[in-house]
Amino acid sequence: MKLKFAPKEERFFELFDNAAKNVAKGADLLVDLVKNHDRAEELSNEIEQVEHEGDITTHEIADRLNRTFITPFDHEDIHDLAGRLDDILDNIEATADRMYLYEAGEPSPEMVNLAEVLADATKVVVRAVHGLKDMKSARRILDYCIEIHRLENIGDEQSRRALAKLFKGPDALHALKWKEIYDHVEEAIDLCEDVASIVESIVVKHT
Amino acid sequence: MKLKFAPKEERFFELFDNAAKNVAKGADLLVDLVKNHDRAEELSNEIEQVEHEGDITTHEIADRLNRTFITPFDHEDIHDLAGRLDDILDNIEATADRMYLYEAGEPSPEMVNLAEVLADATKVVVRAVHGLKDMKSARRILDYCIEIHRLENIGDEQSRRALAKLFKGPDALHALKWKEIYDHVEEAIDLCEDVASIVESIVVKHT
Amino acid sequence: MKLKFAPKEERFFELFDNAAKNVAKGADLLVDLVKNHDRAEELSNEIEQVEHEGDITTHEIADRLNRTFITPFDHEDIHDLAGRLDDILDNIEATADRMYLYEAGEPSPEMVNLAEVLADATKVVVRAVHGLKDMKSARRILDYCIEIHRLENIGDEQSRRALAKLFKGPDALHALKWKEIYDHVEEAIDLCEDVASIVESIVVKHT
């Protein structure tokens, strides 16, 4: 079904598009950061900037939600979707921050892989969220969601192996630091899956 | 009150019985595994097999839920109950997997105790879930739930002491590994308590 | 709007006042404990006592909730508010307990700061919860909530830095122990923010 949206509703889609694209931008910067440890400071600052922009979009969505009675989908779904997108970016920012703060040293190949899985997942999140504007393409939106679940499984497997390698030692403090950092990337990937679940439930309600 | 269930509704009870029994089977295998470290590989594989069977049951419950309008209790409760049972088994499987993956060595007596508390709790979960079919026995179902809460308290106390012993050292990497493993058993026990809470709320609504 | 409350409803406000004051009392004792490590045993016991008193209040709220149809605000909000207040105290008690159980030694200046932020936040929680009785002062209640969010941000920043210092080593087991302890204080502070969110949503619904 092709829904006709009023201008006020159109604005929600624009904001969600921006929020999702911003998340993907943050994830790309994180990949750059873990691959270019010498540019850590510059890239961390860029991630922080992207995170601030994300906050502004999240607040605009929340404001509009409070002032708008008729919204393109349930108030609660809009609230949750905006919240989860914001949480992904918070975890991306925390990942970058902890690497710097703990003086954790050169990222491992496992860390690079994890960041790349996250970046891939956020790119599919952009497509899934964009798809919500046109429920005619419900099948395609759900396919994006399946792809996000697939990437989350890959991320799970990779962080499982990354942790195993870390725990082999010999440096327990190094293991402690990187466990914290891996946890933030893994949380960001899990949150992409939460976004997929919210998108799925919106699609199911509207088709 | 004795409710009369239609055949479609009967099938939900069968599926929940299977799901709960499967969880208890997984917990028993975990007890075997922590007591017989030399058979770790064989028993881990069996747990993985049980976890796959659990997934199939969970999916059948979800499928039926989507296709059935009249269900023996709220859609949301069915969804949550199936989800939590599945989560218990995931954590049992993760416990076994991490012991192997981290090459964590011989399980401590504390680990054996924790696995036994979990196995005890899952046996009561089987009874509580089975009880849902006949609300006449509401009092007995609630007693099972109280027993699960009691076991969770014991588990809490045991993991608290297990962690204290672990942190005495001297091996920090060993502590890191086993903390992760203990966390999965503890989470499985906590999830038994979540199941008890869902069962309680179903009973309260139907009596 | 000034609501007129029936005597039964008045009792809910009294109980919430008690619950919140009890939380603040627990937090003050934790500050004493981290500043006076030599009186650890005595102060730990006092915290445990306060936690027991909190449990009694929580149970009375739950009992009244089950027996009362008309409540000053939504059943779910009352349930959540009582639960979160109880959780704060549980985490305060766990913090004290783990310091003792892990033989973690003298608390760091960072730990003292964190406990003080928590104590400050609980004092504002007392005011915010007390405010619920008189919605005429909605603006002031919301200001208390903003103050709690501000304190949570400070706590976040402090625990971030506390962890960074801890991970510098040299003692990995020491880091493991204190990370667990810091996590409980941080969780207690986060829960103050959850209380603020519940209070905010109650105020929004009633003004």
Cross-chain Cβ contact B172/C177 below 8 Å: no
Long-range contact pairs involving C28-31 (C-beta distance under 8 Å, separation at least 24): C28/C119, C29/C92, C29/C96, C30/C92, C30/C95, C30/C96, C30/C115, C30/C118, C30/C119, C30/C185, C31/C112, C31/C115, C31/C116, C31/C118, C31/C119
> What is the helix (H) or strand (E) element at residue B107, kind and residue range?
none
Chain B's closest residue to A170, CA to CA, is: B173
Domain range enclosing C112? 7-206
Are the beta carbons of A167 and B97 separated by less than 8 Å?
no
d(CA A49, CA A36): 18
The verdict on residue B177 lying in a domain is yes
Task: Say how far residue B56 (Cα) sits from the centre of its chain.
Answer: 16
Distance CA A148, CA A145 (A): 5
Alpha carbon C202 to chain centroid distance?
Answer: 18
Name which of B101, B173, B180 is nearest A169 (Cβ-Cβ): B173
Q: In this structure, are residues B43 and B157 in contact, taking their beta carbons and an 8 Å threshold?
A: no
Mapping DSSP to helix (H, G, I), strand (E, B) and coil, where does residue A107 land? coil
Interface test with A, best of B177, B181, B183, B184 (most A CBs within 10 A): B177
What are C61's two structure tokens?
Answer: 């709220």
Q: How far is B136 from chain A (nearest CA, A)?
A: 36
The model's pTM is 0.90
Using an 8 Å CB-CB cutoff, list chain B residues near C176: 167, 172, 175-176, 179
CA distance C144 to chain B (A): 33
Closest CA relative to residue A162, chosen from C136, C50, B101 = B101
Tell me whether residues C97 and B160 touch, CB distance under 8 A.
Answer: yes
* Full 3-state SS string of chain C: CCCCCCHHHHHHHHHHHHHHHHHHHHHHHHHHHHHCHHHHHHHHHHHHHHHHHHHHHHHHHHHHHHHCCCCCCCHHHHHHHHHHHHHHHHHHHHHHHHHHHCCCCCCCHHHHHHHHHHHHHHHHHHHHHHHCCCHHHHHHHHHHHHHHHHHHHHHHHHHHHHHHHHHCCCCHHHHHHHHHHHHHHHHHHHHHHHHHHHHHHHHHHHC
Q: Which residues contact A157 (CB under 8 A, 6 or more apart)?
A: none
Residue A102: list chain C partners with CB under 8 A. 163-164, 167
Q: Would you write out chain A's pLDDT as a tens digit for each of its 207 residues?
A: 445 566 678 888 999 999 999 999 999 999 999 999 999 999 999 999 999 999 999 999 988 888 887 788 888 899 999 999 999 999 999 999 999 999 999 999 999 999 999 999 999 999 999 999 988 889 999 999 999 999 999 999 999 999 999 999 999 999 999 999 999 999 999 999 999 999 999 998 887
Cis peptide before A170 (omega within 30 of 0): yes
3-state secondary structure of B120: helix
> Could you identify the residue written with the tokens 């396919």?
A143
Q: Alpha-carbon distance B178 to B102, whole Å?
A: 9
Asked whether residue B1 is domain-assigned, the answer is: no
Tokens 């939900």 belong to B12
User: Which pLDDT belongs to residue A67?
Assistant: 83
DSSP string, B138-157: HHHHHHHHHHHHHHHHHHHH
Smallest Cβ–Cβ distance between B101 and the set A164, A169, A179 belongs to A164
Contacts with C179 from chain B: Cβ below 8 Å:
none
Give the pLDDT mean for C114-123.
98
- Phi, psi angle pair for A205, to nearest 5°: -70, -25
Residue C177 makes CB contacts below 8 A (sequence gap 6+) with B167, C98, C102, C104
- Contact residues, chain A, for C169 at CB < 8 Å: 173
List subunits contacting chain C, requiring 3 or more Cβ pairs under 8 Å. A, B
- Average predicted confidence (pLDDT) for chain C: 93
Q: Which residue has the tokens 């609504």?
A: B205
pLDDT at C5: 63
Cross-chain residue pair C173–B175, CB shorter than 8 Å: yes
Q: Which of A156, A159, A163, A178 to mutate to test the interface with B (most CBs of B within 10 A)?
A: A163
Hey, are the CB atoms on C173 and B167 less than 8 Å from each other?
yes
* Complex ipTM value: 0.85
CA–CA distance, C153 with C193 (Å, rounded to integer): 10
Alpha-carbon gap, residue A137 to A128, rounded angstroms = 10
Looking up residue A136, the CATH number of its domain turns out to be 1.20.58.220
Between CA C50 and CA C43 the distance in angstroms is: 11
* Contacts with A103 from chain C: Cβ below 8 Å: 168
Q: How confident is the model at residue C3 (pLDDT cuts 50, 70, 90)?
A: low
Interface contact C180-B172, CB threshold 8 A: no
Contact across the interface for A160 and B102, Cβ inside 8 Å: no
> Which pLDDT value is given to residue B4?
58
Task: State residue C1's pLDDT score.
Answer: 47
Look up residue A4 and give its DSSP letter.
Answer: P
Phi, psi of A143 (to 5 degrees): -65, -40
Q: Distance from C60 to chain B by nearest Cα, in Å? A: 18
Nearest to C100 by CA among C39, C160, C159: C39
Render pLDDT for B126-147 as a digit per residue (tens, 0 to 9): 999 999 998 888 999 999 999 9
**Cβ distance C148 to C124 under 8 Å?**
yes
pLDDT score of C52: 95
Chain A partners of B177 at a C-beta cutoff of 8 Å? 167
Q: Mark C3-37 as b/e (b = at least 16 C-beta within 10 Å).
A: eebeeebebbbebbbbbbbbbbbbbbbbbbbbeee
Angle at B85 (CA atoms; ends A83, B162), nearest 5 degrees: 90
The reply to whether B2 falls in a domain is no
Whether residue A2 is contained in a domain is answered as no
Q: Which residues on chain B are in Cβ contact (under 8 Å) with A164?
A: 101-102
In degrees and rounded to multiples of 5, residue B154 shows phi and psi of -60, -45
Q: List the single residue in A with minimal CA-CA distance to C177.
A: A176
Residue A69's Cβ-count burial label (10 Å; 0-12, 13-18, 19+) is exposed
Chain C: residue whose CA lies nearest to B204 = C66
Q: For chain A, how many structural domains are there in total?
A: 1
Determine, for residues C175 and A180 on separate chains, whether the beta-carbon distance falls below 8 Å. Answer: no
Q: Considering Cα of B72, then B82, then C87, then A184, what sign does the dihedral take?
A: negative
Query: C119-137: buried (b, 16+ CB within 10 Å) or exposed (e) per residue?
Result: bbbbbbbbbbbbbbbebeb
B7: exposed, middle or buried (C-beta count within 10 Å: 0-12, 13-18, 19+)?
Answer: exposed
If you search the block for the tokens 């009675």, which residue do you land on?
A69
Q: How far apart are CA A126 and CA A121, in angstroms?
A: 9
Q: In A, what residues contact B, Cβ < 8 A?
A: 160-161, 163-164, 167-170, 172-173, 175-176, 179
- The answer to whether B89 and B30 have CB atoms below 8 angstroms apart is no
Summarised one tens digit per residue, pLDDT across range C38-97 is: 999 999 999 999 999 999 999 999 888 888 877 888 888 999 999 999 999 999 999 999
Cβ contacts of B161 on chain C, cutoff 8 Å = 101
Separation of first and last alpha carbons in chain C: 7
Contacting partners of chain A (3+ CB pairs under 8 A): B, C
Query: Considering only CB atoms, which chain B residues are within 8 Å of C172?
Result: 172-173
Measure in Å the smallest separation between the Cα of A179 and chain B Cα atoms.
Answer: 10
- pLDDT value of position B170: 95
Q: How far is CA A71 from CA A10, A64, B24, C201, in A?
A: 9, 9, 46, 20
CA distance, residue C167 to nearest chain A CA (Å): 6
Burial class (CB in 10 A: 0-12, 13-18, 19+), C94: buried
Q: Which of B11, B37, B23, B28 is nearest to B194 (CA)?
A: B23
| CA–CA min distance C116, chain A (Å) | 23
Q: Where does residue B62 rank: exposed (0-12), middle (13-18), buried (19+ CB within 10 A)?
A: middle
- C72 contacts C5 by C-beta, under 8 angstroms: yes
Residues of A in contact with C172 (CB under 8 A): 172-173, 176
Q: From the candidates C48, C55, C99, C101, which should be mutated to test the interface with B, based on the most B CB atoms within 10 A?
A: C101
Could you report the average pLDDT of every consecutive run of 10 residues in chain B (207 residues)? 64 94 98 95 96 95 84 87 96 96 95 98 97 91 96 96 95 97 97 96 86
Average pLDDT over residues C94-103: 95
Chain C residue with minimum CA distance to A170: C172
- C192-202 tens-digit pLDDT: 999 999 999 99
Domain assignment present for residue C1? The answer is no
Q: B66 to chain A: nearest residue by CA?
A: A204
Q: Do C172 and B168 touch (CB under 8 A)?
A: no
N- to C-terminal Cα separation, chain B:
7
